[in-house]
């Protein structure tokens, strides 16, 4: 089975945003040009920035993102270079428009997975979040990718705006021939932090613990029974579970065009990146930064969630063990195959 991004202990992933430009304006987009830059990186810079990560972790996976990475005219060359460097897998995250004829410029030997973003089982829900016509275009892109022999996965970012349609996704993905299903929790960063996903002032786009547990594990199991490999965030820890931070037990790097390199995606709205590129050399960022916080132990679990995602909450329920938050980069994965 082909590899792709792995959300587990000891995993190594390089999430490389080669540009921040996009043809869509999704209401929950996490890209923040003020913090991430507006550059489209030249190919030589992409090549230089790919090198240090695979040098220290030869089994690292690389994921090309944007914005929309297929808008980059040199994406195909960047993919081939990543393969030459020896990355364990190469994935392209896309909204499905597949610009520059990318499917004709690379082969299934070059790209392990094209990973498509869809946020509704219907055009009405998806297009309300991701722009008019994006549902049909994404479905068309998935079909075209599969027809050319590429392995495909799909990312569904769960929020209060689309949770009601999540249980319809397993049947749709099985019908399309998608192989992997990534369920993500909406983060309060970028546009989603501005309240654009909710209708009432003060409402959170995130599901409650009871809502999440009632919906996500059953849908994940249903998708696995249809033959999909399913990855989803645990989000809430059981009372007897020990919190672990991916910043300490895994190697994840989130590279942005302005040279910032984060280890935790929750931090990306703030200049607390732990690394940066200077003259194409990867160097430590000035302290204090995110790596100084990873070692902190708090009753709530994830310290970055406490500091950044919910800094104003100080109620007893938030501090209770029932509301302890797991690391967003250490996820559950299941594949049971079709039922007999």
Average pLDDT for the chain: 92
Strands 229-233 and 152-158: unpaired
CA distance 69 to 75: 7
Q: Give the per-residue pLDDT at 331.
A: 97
Q: Give the per-residue pLDDT at 315.
A: 41
- Digit-coded pLDDT (tens) for 208-235: 999 999 999 999 999 999 999 999 999 9
Q: Give the per-residue pLDDT at 202.
A: 56
pLDDT at 38 over 90: yes
Residues 6 or more apart whose CB falls under 8 angstroms from that of 96 comprise 116, 117, 118, 134, 137, 138, 139, 140, 141, 142
- 39-42, Cβ contacts within 8 angstroms, sequence gap of 24 or more: 39/257, 39/258, 40/71, 40/72, 40/257, 41/72, 41/257, 42/74
Q: Which two tokens stand for residue 21?
A: 């430009």
Q: Which two tokens stand for residue 266?
A: 């929750």
For the chain, state the CA radius of gyration: 19
Domain 12-242+325-334 CATH (choose: 3.30.43.10, 2.40.50.140, 3.90.550.10, 3.20.20.70): 3.20.20.70
- Digit-coded pLDDT (tens) for 44-102: 999 999 999 999 999 999 999 999 999 999 999 999 999 999 999 999 999 999 999 99
Strands 180-185 and 152-158: parallel
Q: Give the per-residue pLDDT at 280.
A: 97
- Domain locations along the chain: 12-242+325-334
Which of 192-206, 220-234, 259-273 is predicted least confidently? 192-206
Q: Which residues of 218-236 are buried (b: 16+ CB within 10 A; e: fewer)?
A: ebbebbbbbbbbbbbbbbb
Q: Are 164 and 307 in contact (CB under 8 A)?
A: no
- Digit-coded pLDDT (tens) for 15-36: 999 999 999 999 999 999 999 9
pLDDT at 131 over 50: yes
Place of tokens 């300490």: 248
pLDDT at 193 over 80: no
- Digit-coded pLDDT (tens) for 286-326: 999 999 999 999 999 999 999 887 755 444 333 333 479 99
- DSSP lists the bridge partners of residue 232 as 332
């Amino acid at each position: 089975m082909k590899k792709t991004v792995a959300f587990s202990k000891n995993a190594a992933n390089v999430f490389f945003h080669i540009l921040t430009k996009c043809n869509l304006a999704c209401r929950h987009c996490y890209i923040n040009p003020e913090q991430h830059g507006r550059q489209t990186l030249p190919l030589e810079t992409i090549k230089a920035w790919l090198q240090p990560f695979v040098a220290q972790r030869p089994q690292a996976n690389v994921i090309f993102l944007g914005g929309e990475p297929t808008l980059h005219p040199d994406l195909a060359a960047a993919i081939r270079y990543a393969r030459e460097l020896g990355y364990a897998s190469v994935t392209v995250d896309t909204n499905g428009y597949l610009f520059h004829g990318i499917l004709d410029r690379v082969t299934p030997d070059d790209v392990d997975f094209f990973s498509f973003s869809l946020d509704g089982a219907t055009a009405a829900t998806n297009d309300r979040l991701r722009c008019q016509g994006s549902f049909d275009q994404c479905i068309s892109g998935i079909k075209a990718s599969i027809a050319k022999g590429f392995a495909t996965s799909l990312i569904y970012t769960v929020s209060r705006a689309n949770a009601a349609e999540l249980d319809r996704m397993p049947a749709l993905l099985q019908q399309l021939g998608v192989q992997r299903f990534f369920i993500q929790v909406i983060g309060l960063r970028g546009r989603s932090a501005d309240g654009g996903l909710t209708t009432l002032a003060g409402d959170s786009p995130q599901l409650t613990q009871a809502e999440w547990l009632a919906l996500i594990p059953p849908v994940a199991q249903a998708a696995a029974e249809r033959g999909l490999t399913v990855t989803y965030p645990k989000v809430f820890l059981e009372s007897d579970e020990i919190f672990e931070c991916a910043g300490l037990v895994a190697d994840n790097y989130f590279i942005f065009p302005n040279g910032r390199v984060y280890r935790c995606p929750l931090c990306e709205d703030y200049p607390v990146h732990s690394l940066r590129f200077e003259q194409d050399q990867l160097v430590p960022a000035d302290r204090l930064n995110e790596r100084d916080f990873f070692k902190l132990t708090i009753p709530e679990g994830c310290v970055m969630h406490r500091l950044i995602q919910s800094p104003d909450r100080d109620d007893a329920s938030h501090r209770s063990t029932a509301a302890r938050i797991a690391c967003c980069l250490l996820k559950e994965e299941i594949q049971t195959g079709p039922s007999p």
